[in-house]
Structure 1
Amino acid sequence: MHIFWENIWKFPKFLISVFLGFFLTAAYPFFQLSKKRKTLYILLCILTLLLVFLVITLKEMLGYS
């Protein structure tokens, strides 16, 4: 039974490392693109527009003015 609880306590660390690894692997191409100043500005503009779009969409969905 001790081994069971030990494995249960290890699971959150495993889950966090899997999610972190997934997001870092998915974001790696963007890190490579951001090495050039011109593409960095384009990426920042796109991310800003996506964030603004998300905020506006959530405000409208939730009924905030």
Structure 2
Amino acid sequence: MQEFFQNVSRYPRYLISFSLGIFFNAIEPLMPLLKRPTTAIALVGLVISVFVFLTFTLRAMLGLSVA
């Protein structure tokens, strides 16, 4: 039974390493764009606009009000 719990305790570490690996591989191609100010501003603007779009979409879908 102890082997079972040792095996189960490895899953959170696997999940974290797997998630960080996907995040790193998704961000790595965008790093050269951050070296020039024009593309850096555009990239930051894109990230902020995607976040705002997702926020408004989820609020509308869930019926949440601002007040």
Q: TM-score, normalization: structure 1?
A: 0.79
Tell me the alpha carbon deviations over residues 20-65 of structure 1, each in whole angstroms, 9 at most, x when there is no partner. Answer: 1111111111122112111100001111111111121122112224
Q: Which residue of 2 aligns with 1:40?
A: 40
Q: Distance in 2 between matches of 1:6 and 1:18?
A: 19
How large is the Cα RMSD of the aligned pairs? 1.6
| Comparing 3-12 and 20-29, the one that deviates more | 3-12
How many residues are paired up? 65
Could you tell me the percent identity over the aligned residues?
37
What residue ranges of structure 1 are gaps of 5+ in the alignment? none
Distance 1:14 1:20 in 2: 10
